[in-house]
Chains A and B, each alone.
Chain A
Amino acid sequence: MTGDRSEWEPKIVGFLCNWCSYAGADLAGQSRLEYPPNVKIIRVPCSGRVNPLFVLKCLSSGVDGVLISGCHTGDCHYSEGNFHARRRFTILRKLFEYLGIDPKRFQMAWVSASEADKWAKLVKGLVEEIRQAGPNKLGHR
């Protein structure tokens, strides 16, 4: 999967919170909404579970884009996890930008369990954005 851009397909990892975003993606399935297959979902209990180290691991393993998706603020199943995640990843994202890492490669979203449509659109948009950003050159793959 190197070099040739015509063969290249964006590889995206999505960390989805179990209660809202994962369920939102479930609903997208139940509603038979079609979206590109590029996002690989890693289920986590809460967006607050996501460690910046995971994001780094993705980007340094040749993943082209990382998405963290959780409940809307105020809806967190654990009440505050997404608030913690928001602050944590706001800093990481600022740092990425500063170090010259395309911020498109690291994104966050709030997708509720009922927002199947938002999920499908989010994936489509994300894949498009990453496609434009091109392959991630940081990774060893």
Chain B
Amino acid sequence: MKIGVFVCHCGTNIAATVDVEKAAKAALNLAKVKFSTTYKYMCSSPGQALIKDAIKEKGLDRIVVCACSPSLHEKTFRECLKESGINPYLLEIANIREHCSWVHRDRETATRKAIEIMKLAVTKVTHNRPLEKTHMPIEKRVLVIGGGISGIQSAIDISFAKFPVVIVEREASIGGRMARFDKTFPTLDCAACILTPKMVTVAQNKYVTLHTYAEIEEVTGHVGDFKVKIRKKARFVDTSKCTGCGACWNKCPAKVASEFDLGLCKRTAIYTPFPQAVPNIPVIDRENCLYLKSKKCGLCQKVCPFGAINYQMQDEIIEEKFGAIIVATGFTQFDHSVYGEYGYGKYRDVITGLHFERMANSSGPTGGKIIRPSDGKVARDVVFIQCVGSRDEQKGVSYCSRLCCMYTAKHALLLKEHNPDSQAYVFYIDIRAAGKNYEEFVKKVQNEYGAVYLRGRVSRIFEKGGKLIVRGADTLSGAQIEIKADLVVLAVGLIAQNDAAKLAQMLHIPYDQNNLFTEAHPKLAPVETITSGVFLTGACQSPKDIPDTVATASAASVKALGLLVQDQLEKEPLVARVDKNLCSGCQACIKACSFNAIETKEVEDRALKRKRTVAEVIEGVCSGCGNCTAVCRMSAIDLEGFSNRQIMEEIEVL
């Protein structure tokens, strides 16, 4: 072994405080160091040439560069080694600038310390091993979980790059929450007008496969090679035969409350959730279908001109492989029944924002009339209550749901447009309108549409003389307020889907105390997760409005495409490795690994003459954090580049 030590002056950055010549000389006293020298700027081309020449002339096989922090030039010098025909991982950087010359003033002290830092690096490099980046094949397909606007946008973006993408949506149609909205803030274009074309685009796209009425059953594997089991729930309608003519649902006698319209109207047992459904193929709701319940009826089968109804249909589980997964599962509404004082459930005229959306929608259950659900009369005085469930650690969630201020303002505006004689009152805590043209929108609602904004909480709602009496405080004027309202609209917060934690566990992605999925880095990796190959978009990560949702959808797509365009996955080789002779198979490492990068493997134990289970690192998945090495009692698992031996010997030479 011939180690070369190269001490950089860094102009005067190092040389002014550290006696670089002395350091270079001291290097020659260290075991296996065969050559040392100094240079003004080691990272410059002549500096690198100096290293390359020395490698060639002196036959050096390991290099220590005493210079600035490895975060700056480790890559540079690795490249330099590579160009000289030495494995790039046979390099160590001694950080004698940031950690030495720049923080000490006394030359003697700094020089002594620089030599010690160099000694550590020389000791460490002695045990570096030549490493090669690992390569793994990539299954060039993307799975998008969730067919709302987020998933739709992701799928469209990926199809642009001509990679196959599969959307799995658990409802009978794609479209998600946005399909229920009336108009969208702040521009007031109608949600359907901008969403429906996208739904159609995605359905007709030859790169996109839609699995509606389907759920994720199991996810195994890792980036580049996820194996996913998808449960295709029995629709009882043959999608290859059905044309969506509607004969069946027009005749179906079983009527139940429509989920899509939040019970504001009825649907039949065979149904599509809404008229613009994609695919426009109904499903039979097995709980309410008379035939499936008791073999009576069978009308839909009789009237179907295409013989598409099949009562014998079973759930089907398919397994597919993907290189990347985009999670676009969205959100659900906060259950505001905990706010007894708002009388939800007790008074029919206390509704949520989403009910309001459906009523305002001209193709909705009221045909666009904003009325009191109790008596069908036009709503005149309407009270909107913000922050229902949001920013309330006691009863709800601690975070701000971000959209409620805006959709409430929009509702106040729509109310005025639909019912010109009406008056909107908005109880708020703070107005958060931080978005392009958002503040202006709220101002417009207040100034041009006459919505009265009252800063305070509502303490009680009760019924009196056919009206809802809303009592609250206006904290700005200090006055107690009582409003006789026709309708009360609760701006309920956004929360994670009920089964979010289950999905997160399947995908091995972390989630927070609110079951919102956790991004890999809050600022610099907002759509990535720590599980490589799994990306997040939309409100499953945190409440987002449509623009942000679409933006993260495209961002997640780019990240997924960034993977897919590679021929192979290239990974840093500084990963954990198991010595199977030392491994007891206790699996402490497997349980401690945040990345699910360790699996079990059966090996033949020659000494014991039997099979034994040991741990094995999936190199492509290991992030090289080394946590496993510290939980391994037998030190059977070690980390390349930061091995137990290297660290122990570093301590010894100190």
Contact = CB atoms under 8 A, between A and B. Distances in A.
Contacts of A37: 100, 104, 109-110, 112-113
Given A48-B625, A51-B629, A34 B103 contact: yes
Contact of A84 (B631, B642, B648): B631
A49 B112 CA distance: 28
A50 B99 contact: no
A13 B630 CA distance: 18
Contact of A43 (B70, B629, B644): B70
A25 B95 CA distance: 11
Contacts of A34: 103-105
Interface in A11-39: 11, 13, 22-23, 25-30, 32-35, 37
A8 B496 CA distance: 59
A26 B626 contact: no
B520 A79 contact: yes
Given A54-B648, A63-B654, A30 B102 contact: yes
Interface in B614-644: 623-627, 629-631, 635, 639, 642, 644
B61 interface: no
B431 interface: no
Interface residues of B, number: 45
Interface of B: 69-71, 95, 97-100, 102-105, 109-110, 112-113, 116-117, 120, 510, 518, 520, 530, 574, 592, 594-595, 623-627, 629-631, 635, 639, 642, 644, 647-648, 650-652, 654
Given A57-B652, A63-B651, 9 more contacts: A29-B98, A29-B100, A34-B105, A40-B116, A44-B647, A45-B624, A49-B627, A54-B651, A80-B510
8 contacts: A43-B70, A45-B625, A48-B630, A54-B647, A57-B648, A79-B510, A79-B594, A84-B631
A51 to B, nearest CB: 4
Contacts of B647: 42, 44, 51, 54
Nearest to A88: B630
Given A28-B103, A50-B630, A81 B651 contact: no
A28 B97 CA distance: 11
Given A34-B103, A37-B104, A61 B651 contact: yes
A23 B625 contact: no
A120 interface: yes
A78 interface: yes
Interface string A60-71: 010100000000
A57 B624 CA distance: 23
Closest 5 CB pairs between A and B? Answer: A29-B98, A49-B626, A48-B627, A29-B102, A78-B625
B81 to A, nearest CB: 19
Interface of A: 11, 13, 22-23, 25-30, 32-35, 37, 40-46, 48-54, 57-58, 61, 63, 77-81, 84-85, 88, 120
Nearest to B92: A43
Nearest to A28: B103
Contacts of B69: 22-23, 26, 29
B594 A78 contact: yes
A57 B651 contact: yes
B631 A32 contact: no
Nearest to B521: A77
A79 B642 contact: no
A37 B594 CA distance: 36
Most chain B beta-carbon neighbours within 10 Å: one of A32, A43, A53: A43
B628 to A, nearest CB: 9
Contacts of A35: 103
Contacts of B70: 43
Given A29-B103, A49-B626, A80 B594 contact: yes
A120 B639 contact: no
A78 B627 contact: yes
A64 to B, nearest CB: 11
A74 B595 CA distance: 16
Most buried by B among A13, A40, A44: A40
Given A29-B102, A40-B117, A23 B654 contact: no
Nearest to A84: B627
Nearest to A37: B113
A99 B635 CA distance: 24
Contacts of B631: 84, 88
A81 B109 CA distance: 34
Contacts of A63: 651, 654
Contact of B654 (A40, A79, A84, A120): A40
Given A37-B110, A61-B654, A49 B102 contact: no
Contact of A11 (B98, B117, B654): B654
B387 to A, nearest CB: 25
B651 A42 contact: yes
A13 B103 contact: no
B630 A49 contact: yes
A35 B592 CA distance: 36
A81 to B, nearest CB: 5
A42 to B, nearest CB: 5
